[in-house]
Structure 1
Amino acid sequence: MSTPAPLRPALGRRAVVLGTLAALALGATACSSSGSDPLGAGSSSAPAAGSGGTAGSGSSGSTVVVGSANFPENVLLGSIYSQALKAKGVKVEEKFNIGSREVLYGQLQSGSLTVLPEYNGALLAYLGGKASAPTKDEVDAALAKTLPASLAILDSSPAEDKDTLSVSQETADKYGLKTIADLAGKAGELTIGGPPEFKSRQEQPFKDVYGLTFKEWKPTGDTTANAVKDGAVQVGNVFSTDPKISQLKLVPLADPKNLFGAQNITPLVNKAGVDAKATAALNAVSAKLDTAGLLGLMKKVAVDKEDPSAVAKEWLKANGLV
C-alpha cells in the first residue's frame, strides 16, 4: 500500500500512512524504493532467504496464530483473516499490535505466529529482492524464490496500500485526467505536492517513465490530501488507503506503467501451521479484497472510529465469507 519500523523497508521518508489516524496510535510507516510501507523495517536486518513455495498440509487440529503490526490497517486485516478462519472451523489465536516487520518476521519463522497480513512489494524489498518489480505477479514470483523454505505467500489480493498521484475532482474534470499518463502535456501547468523527499525520489522517474515535468514541487507532508483539495497543489502523493481520498472526494490517477511498484496485501504464512482448509479461507479473502473496499473499511475505522473487529465482521458477511 513507505518504510517505517512497522513492516516495510527503511529507505527514507517517514510518512503517516493515514493522516487521520494519529489519535489511534498509528504505527510509524516509511517508504520502500517504490513508495510507502506500513510495516516498515530495515532490509539490512532481514534473515537469510532460501527457497519459497506453497503452503504445506499443516496440522489439522492445531491453533493458527494470526498476528499483525501495530497500526490500524494491519490490525483490521488481521481481524479479517482471523474471523474468516474461525468461520471455517479453524482454531485461531489473535496476537495483534505486535510491532515492526523485524519482530514479526522472526516470530513467523519460529512458528510463534502462523499468519500475517503482508505487503508483497515491501516484503520482497525487505528480503533483498528486486523492490521495483512492477506487477503483482512479478513480485509474487520473486517472493516464491526468495522466501525461506518454512514460509510461503498465499494468493495476493487486488487491494494495495501504495503511493498514488491524486487530484481533486475539479482538476480531473478540467484536464481530463484518469491516469498519470494523462498528465503528459499538462504537468507544466500544475504544482505537485508530497513529502519532502518525494521530489528527489520521483522527479526523474516521472520524466523517464511518463515524460512529465511539473511546474513546481511543494513539500506538503501529512497535509498533502488537504493541499490537493484546497488547491494549494493540483497533484498530490497520497496513500491509496488514506480515508481522506474518499472523505475529500479525491481522484487517484491510475498508474498504467507501474511507476509505483506493487504493494498488494498478501497473507504470509508459516507453512507448517496452515492446512488446506486455512489456505482456502485466506485465499477466499484475497479474492474479495480490493483497494476501493479497503479504503471504505479504513474510513470506518479511522474516521468513524468503529471497532476494527466489527468492521471486519461486517465486511466478511457482506462478501459471503462467514
Structure 2
Amino acid sequence: MMKKRIMTGFFTAVIGLVLVGCSSTSSSEAIKIGSKDFTESLVVSEIYALALEDQDLEVERIPNIASSVIPQSIENGEVDLYPEYTGTSLLTIFELPLQTDPDAVAETIRESYEEDGILTTLDYAEANDSAGIAIKTSVSEEYGIKTISDLQENADQIRFASQGEFDQREDGLPGLAQVYGEFDFLSTTVYDNSLKYQVLNSDEADATPAYTTEGQLSNTEEFTILEDDKNFWPPYNLVPVVRQDILETYPEIETIINGINENLDTETVIELNAKVDIDGEDYQQVAQDYFDSLN
C-alpha cells in the first residue's frame, strides 16, 4: 500500500460504491480509464481512451472522480489508469521534498509508485499545468516583462490582482520573494479567482496568479504567462499513473499512451481547455477532434 495515505476508510467505501455503480454495465475485461473532476483531466483521459479503443482495446470510462479520491481508487483497482501530475504526486501524494527538474521528479515518483508493486507511471508529457503569473500582453510589451525576474524588477509599475491566499502561502508571494526578491507592486487588490481575467480585461489590474494551462491563456494578444526563470515552482507535467497488473495483461498500453503524450505540450493543452471552458464545446468532442487530427 502507498506510504502516504490521503483517504480514510469511509471515503474509500463511498467511492467504491460510486465506481461500482458507474461500471455495472461494463465488461470486466475493459480497461478502466479514470479522470479527475475538471476539464483538463476529462479531456486528456478521453484522448487516452480513444487511443486505446483505436487499437481494439475495450475501455470503460470513469470520469469526474475527486482529486483527493482518485489515488486510492487506482490503488484499490477501481481504476486502471488516469492522468495525474508529477508535482501533485511528489508533494501531495507522497509528501516528498521539493524538486524542480522534470526528469528527476518523474524518476522519483515512478520509484515511489512502484515500491509496493501495484502502480507505476508512463512517460510524462511536456504539458505543464504549474502555478504561474499571467500579465496583460500590452503591459508585458510596454515594460519588457517576459519573466518573473522582469516582473520583480518592474513591480512598482504593476497593479497586482491577488486572490488573497496567494499573498500568504509558502508557494505564493512569500516564497517568490525569497527566490526573486521583494515585489513592491504599485497596488495589490484581492479578487475572486474566477474573476481574474475579467479584472485584467477591464483594466483594473495588470497581472495575476494563474495556472499555466488555463484556457484563457490561448488569447495571447491579451495575456502572457511569465517564465519562471529561477524555477521556483515544481513541474506539474501530465503523467499517466497505471496499475502494473493491467500493463502485464495489456503491455501495448505503454506504447499507445506514450505516443499520445509525445504530442501533448502546454500550448496544445491550453487550446483544448479553451475549446471547453471558453467556447463551450463538449469535452468528448474536443478530445475526439484532437485525436482525429493526429491520424
> Same fold judged by TM-score > 0.5?
yes
Structure number, greater radius of gyration: 2
Q: Distance in 1 between matches of 2:7 and 2:126?
A: 26
Q: Does 1:287 align with 2:262?
A: yes
Shift of 1:142: 1.8
Given that 1:129 and 1:143 are in contact with CA atoms closer than 8 Å, whether structure 2 keeps it comes out as: no
Q: Distance in 2 between matches of 1:133 and 1:46?
A: 25
Q: Does 1:207 align with 2:177?
A: yes
Q: Distance in 2 between matches of 1:117 and 1:149?
A: 19
Q: Distance in 1 between matches of 2:184 and 2:157?
A: 7
Shift of 1:126: 2.4
Given that 2:138 and 2:222 are in contact with CA atoms closer than 8 Å, whether structure 1 keeps it comes out as: no
Shift of 1:131: 5.6
Q: Does 1:226 align with 2:208?
A: no
Moved more, 169-178 or 244-253: 244-253
Q: Which residue of 1 aligns with 2:216?
A: 244
Q: Which residue of 2 aligns with 1:110?
A: 76
One-letter identity of the residue aligned with 1:298: N
Q: Which residue of 2 aligns with 1:164?
A: 132
One-letter identity of the residue aligned with 2:269: L
Shift of 1:46: 5.5
Aligned length: 264
Q: Deviations over 1:29-64 (max 9, x none)?
A: xxxxxxxxxxxxxx76269xxxxxxxxxxxxx9431
Q: Which residue of 2 aligns with 1:258?
A: 231
Specify which structure has the higher proportion of helix. 2
Sort the Cα spacing of 1:92 and 1:137 in 2 relative to 1 into closer, same or farther, 3 A: same
Equivalences for 1:119-130 in 2 at 5 Å? 119-130=85-96
Secondary structure of residue in 2 paired with 1:164: strand
Shift of 1:86: 1.0
Secondary structure of residue in 1 paired with 2:267: helix
Identity of matched residues, %? 23
Equivalences for 1:1-322 in 2 at 5 Å? 45=6, 62-97=29-64, 99-130=65-96, 132-147=98-113, 148-201=116-169, 202-215=172-185, 216-222=187-193, 223-247=195-219, 249-274=222-247, 275-320=250-295
Secondary structure of residue in 2 paired with 1:192: strand
Q: Distance in 2 between matches of 1:226 and 1:260?
A: 25
Q: Any stretches of 5+ residues in structure 1 without a counterpart? A: 1-42, 48-60
Runs of 4+ in 1 over 3 A off after TM superposition: none
Given that 2:7 and 2:69 are in contact with CA atoms closer than 8 Å, whether structure 1 keeps it comes out as: no
Sort the Cα spacing of 1:131 and 1:252 in 2 relative to 1 into closer, same or farther, 3 A: farther
One-letter identity of the residue aligned with 2:215: P
Q: Distance in 1 between matches of 2:156 and 2:282?
A: 44
Q: Any stretches of 5+ residues in structure 2 without a counterpart? A: 9-27
